[in-house]
Structure 1
Amino acid sequence: MFHTRTSHPRPLHPPRAHRRRISVHQSSPYDHVVLVSVDTLRSDAMSAHPKPLWPHTYRNIRPVRTSVLDTLASRGAYFPNMISAAPYTAASHGAIFTGQYPLHNGLHEFYNGSLRAPSIFTYGRRDGRRTVMKVDFPIILGKELGFTRDIDTYLVEEDDAFVEAVAAADRSVALAHFGSVHVPYGFHNLTLGGDAYREKVAELEAELPDELPFVDRLVETYRDAEDADLLMRYKRATTYLHQQGAYDRLFQLYLDGVAHFQATRLSAFLDRLTERVTATGKRMLLVLFADHGEEFDEQTNGHFNSMSEGVLRVPLIIVGDGIPPGTYEHRIRTVDIAPTALDLAAIPAPALKNFDGRSLASVVRGTEPLDGDASAVAESYNVELNDFIAFQERQLNGRTPGPLPHFLVGHAAYLGDRRVVRMTRHYSDSLQRATPCDRVQVERFGADGVPRPDPDDDGADLLALLDDYRTALREPEPTTVTDDIRGQLRSLGYSV
């Protein structure tokens, strides 16, 4: 359960000798491993969630039914309490694909760096599988940050082409990323949103005054003039609502967007995918997850700068032949996804893998219980908004964008039924400026899964977990290469 506390919490990074080996079988039980990423889907946006957080925060909300997601969860292994490694798309997906935390895989900032660790697609390719990736956010999940490495077929916003690419492959590891739950909630763009999108923008603008707030001009995908204009108008409306403290109204827009996406896009996609793969006589492992959620309060308008539990807690659903239905409420991490999927599909990986996550394959198969809440960390690195807007405009105009300085906004650590949140930056109301701060809060999870402040807990062990994790940022000590070291390297086959 969410409130279970273990007397000996699992270490964040188990010693190498004790890291779980990824099992390798003679043949895979699944021809296709299909990852489905629903960007910005917080765990309790699903009506099947056993202990939703949002009713404790928002009032006068009209619940929505997420029947497609709920049905999928009822057919397989459903984990409603998974902690994301980061509250934004790039670093979160990097951790999911590699099974390594952001400070270990090369991609921890909001928009900097590049994946340098092998991914689930790397191992799929080595296993002779075709790798396919379809994304709604090519500016984020593209070549600039290393996401297209080891991808055979890369698609942008082409759901049908993705299904056909998977069905045409003998075996595959594939990702379908959906951005429709992100702002503008439920629509993604004009091509997919159509007149319903135009009508929603007009409805929101009818509530606006003559003078409107500053709005960012950031985009995650390529848009024509009308599409870009609609997005800016939608953002301007939601920014105004946030400044007015209309958090319930914003959360309702978000939930309605989840329902709209499910009804207009996800349902048809899953039906087509299942039908086409079944027609080929192949077996499929479907792994559906989110990268982060969405929250609205005085500090957060969305997700990127937030350590809110509603932002960090996301769902995982795994469906396939031989996987019995079950709901597992103990805490897991997004870094557990890659080792679990590789294990279930019997895709070979090095015997001593540097996964920060662990394989949950035996839990998914129903042969072992989920033994307690995993320890976890999450961090947010970001930039000054105006700096990022200028950087992206240079990039989209084909100019050299130059450097993009980042800073730590905040981070969180989890052990047993406790967590700590340490914020080091505070954003202004318009999110334009981030000023330094030092705010630490220790929270304890109740039986309802809600974290509440515990003023008597100094969180020393939790803060130590964060400090240990951040040692990955330290520059390595220089090493003098001696003749003895050279000899040892040569004996291992290296040319030095």
Structure 2
Amino acid sequence: MDESSGRDSESHETVRNVVLVVLDTARARSVDLPGGSSERDGTRSGRIDRSTTPTVHRLAAEGTTFERAFSTAPWTVPSHASLFTGCYPSEHGTHGGNTFLDPDLRTLAEAFSDAGFRTVGVSNNTWLTEEFGFDRGFDELRKGWQYIQSDADMGAVVRGEDLREKLEATRNRLFDGNPAVNAANILYSEVFQPAGDDGADRSTAWIENWLETRDDDRPFFLFCNFIEPHVEYDPPRRYAERFLPDGASYEEATAIRQDPRAYDCEDYDISDREFAMLRGLYRAELAYVDDQLGEIRRALEERDEWDDTLFVVCGDHGEHIGEHGFFGHQYNLYDTLVHVPLVLHGGPFTGGDRREEFVQLLDLPATLLEAVGVDDPALREQWSARSAHPESSDASRNAVFAEYVTPQPSIERLEARFGEIPNRVRKFDRRLRAVRTAEYKYVRGDDGSERLHHLPTDPFERTDVSDDEPERARSLRRRLEERFDPLESAESGEAVAMREGTKERLADLGYL
């Protein structure tokens, strides 16, 4: 190995750059992949429209689709921590009780940086910033929702319900930091930002400009998180109208209250028709960010970088839009939340392959580094990853695991907001762990509760058969114990003191 760069000089490298795009809150069942099953959701077509995510579909048709890809957790912080470190939540310790990424853990960006790569990130999710330790290893990590980068977040102005609220928020926030920068960010969000956009358009434009103007010939690692599929679903009208149910108007759909924690806590109700409209809006958000993916691909092609780039698209977790009686992505580990799309294109991941073996997002560090011939012993020593490179010597998985360490927001915060909360939510005040094989899904809480699902006959995990198949439940319980009991649970650090603007943006996303 070339010790100056960390790159294996003897390996046959077929790609030199890596682009990793996370479609925040994209569930596998709603993304258009070759050979994928169609979901019925009440849209005009009654099934997935092939035009929903044509860029992803084309990438998959030309690249490699992993049909059984799973997140390690059902929400952003622990899922991205696993993606960046190759560790399970029990190992990296980043979750609702400790939202800061352990500084002693090695990250994928650090591995690329030390191997001589230019490392650039664009985040549109408030969790994925320097405030929570996710900037480590990046030469630059931008906040995609800002026109000019600033620690002061003007999101309270954007979220104002009327002119009075917007003016009040402007008065309260304008002098928090640099007034000129704050004014520019307000002007962009209120006047120039495309309707229905939550940072994707600005992020894509910045990436295109960066590719055009960069002045070094180093390989690069580019990470981007698009948050549009996340609540609130507010796609541009022209996208929404393609996916709404018959008879539903854009105004009617966008007027539906979108407050997942309030719905889960039975503070208000959403009808079946309203959920059908929400699923249409969600599909429209996916279509919108899919077009942004297409723009990034076009930019790479125009700069003659496409053929030298491994292009990766995945979801970080899924979403409930009425399934199992929930809205959002908290409190459980159903496949709706942890089964995610994963497509790789470039180098060894070409030819339209559809691979059925299990993979996890925590496998990406091993897979991406092997694809570009980088060996990072420090990262390899900490990870639980297995490379999915077609020439890897790592054994394939025959099961995947997921964890929900602690509720986010906490039960105490829910009680403070709603008073009495329903038992169906209160019972999730526990650690959940799940193991999934091709045939069974087993979920166990640290309170002794358990569920077992026979997936061929119960693909939507509605029927608990643990009492009918006690031996199977015991066998999978042992698998969970073998996976997690040897791990020394990472200690929860002190809670991060969030900036007020961060709190407001996270509250708007349904976390606080």
Q: TM-score range by the shorter chain?
A: 0.5 to 0.7
Contact 2:318/2:340, CA 8 A, preserved across alignment: yes
Code of the aligned partner of 2:444: R
Alignment of 1:433-472 (within 5 A): 438-446=448-456, 451=461, 453-454=464-465, 455-458=468-471, 459-468=473-482, 469-472=484-487
**What residue number does 1:280 align with?**
303
Q: Which residue number corresponds to residue 221 of structure 2?
A: 173
Shift of 1:279: 3.4
2-side partners of 1:237 and 1:85: how far apart? Answer: 22
Residues 1:450 and 1:276: Cα distance change in structure 2 (over 3 Å): same
C-alpha distance in structure 2 between counterparts of 1:440 and 1:237, whole Å? 24
Task: Give yes or no for contact 1:84–1:292 (8 Å, CA) kept in 2.
Answer: yes
Q: Tell me which of 340, 360, 368 is aligned to 2:367.
A: 340
Q: Which residues in structure 2 correspond to 1:349-388 (within 5 Å)?
A: 349-350=376-377, 353-362=381-390, 371=396, 373-385=398-410
Q: Are 1:46 and 2:31 matched, yes or no?
A: yes
Matches within 5 A, 1:476-495: none
How many residue pairs get aligned? The number is 393
In the TM superposition, what is the alpha-carbon distance from 1:162 to its structure 2 partner?
A: 2.5
Letter paired with 2:451: Q
Residue type of the alignment partner of 2:226: F
Write the letter of the residue equivalent to 1:360.
A
TM-fit CA distance, 1:68: 2.4
2:294 paired with 1:266: no
Partner of residue 227, structure 1: none
- How far off is 1:385 after superposition? 4.8
Aligned equivalents of 1:418 and 1:99: distance in 2? 25
Cα 1:86–1:347 shift into 2, 3 Å:
same
Find 1:132's aligned residue among 111, 120, 133: 120
Among 434, 438, 448, the alignment partner of 1:412 is: 434
1:153 paired with 2:140, answer yes
Q: Is residue 209 of structure 2 the alignment partner of residue 164 of structure 1? A: yes
Please state how far the C-alpha of 1:59 moved relative to its aligned partner: 10
| C-alpha contact 2:26 2:286 (8 A) present in aligned 1 | no
Q: CA deviation at 1:299?
A: 4.9
Query: After superposition, what is the alpha-carbon deviation per residue over 1:94-133, rounded to whole angstroms, capped at 9, x for unaligned?
Result: 1011111112123133652323421210111011111111
Are the counterparts in 1 of residues 264 and 327 from structure 2 also a CA contact under 8 Å? no
Q: How far apart in 1 are the matches of 2:312 and 2:88?
A: 19
Any idea what the Cα deviations from partners look like across 1:341-384, whole Å, max 9, x if unmatched? 11111122118533212001116xxx999956334233242245
Alpha-carbon distance between aligned partners in 2 of 1:475 and 1:288, rounded to the nearest angstrom: 29
> Could you tell me how far 1:248 is from its partner in structure 2?
6.3
- Which SS does the other structure have where 1:72 is aligned? helix
Please list every run of 5 or more consecutive structure 1 residues that lacks an aligned counterpart in the other structure: 1-21, 208-232, 392-405, 425-436, 477-496
Alignment CA distance shift 1:378-1:237 (3 Å): closer
Q: Report the Cα distance in structure 2 between the residues aligned to 1:248 and 1:110, rounded to whole angstroms.
A: 36
Deviation (angstroms), 1:177: 0.2
- Look up the match of 1:330: 357
1:87 aligns with 2:74: yes
**Aligned-residue offset at 1:87:** 0.4
| 1:315 partnered with 2:315 | no
Identity %: 19
* 2:354 partner amino acid: T
- The equivalent residue for 1:62 is 46
Question: Aligned partners of 2:294, 2:45: CA distance in 1, in Å?
Answer: 30
CA distance in 1, matches of 2:435, 2:324: 22
Q: Compute the TM-score of the two structures, normalised by the length of structure 1.
A: 0.68
Q: Is the contact between residue 293 and residue 310 of structure 1 (CA under 8 Å) also seen in structure 2?
A: yes
CA contact (8 A) 1:132 1:166 kept: no
Q: Is the 8 A contact 1:241 1:247 kept in 2?
A: no
Q: What are the superposed Cα offsets for residues 219-260 of structure 1, whole Å, 9 maximum, x if unpaired? A: xxxxxxxxxxxxxx5438993998536356425523442334
Quickly say closer, same or farther: Cα 1:187–1:237, change in 2 above 3 A: farther
Contact 1:305 1:409 in 2 (8 A): no
Q: CA deviation at 1:412?
A: 1.1
Q: Secondary structure at the match of 1:176?
A: strand
SS at match of 2:206: helix
The SS at the match of 1:151 is coil
> What aligned pairs does 1:224-303 form with structure 2 within 5 A after superposition?
234-235=258-259, 239=263, 243-244=268-269, 246-247=271-272, 249-250=274-275, 252-262=277-287, 264-267=288-291, 269-282=292-305, 283-295=308-320, 296-303=322-329
Asked if the contact 2:24–2:225 (Cα under 8 Å) also holds between the matched residues in 1, the reply is: yes
Secondary structure of 1:40's match?
A: coil
Q: In the alignment, residue 114 of structure 2 is paired with which amino acid?
A: R
State the one-letter code of the partner of 1:414.
Answer: R
Tell me by how many angstroms 1:203 deviates.
1.8
TM-score (norm 2): 0.66
CA deviation map 1:430-467 (0-9, x unaligned): xxxxxxx6531112221895555433134123223333
Q: Which runs of 5+ in 2 are unaligned?
A: 1-5, 145-202, 417-427, 492-512
Q: 1:102 to 1:165 in 2, by over 3 A?
A: farther
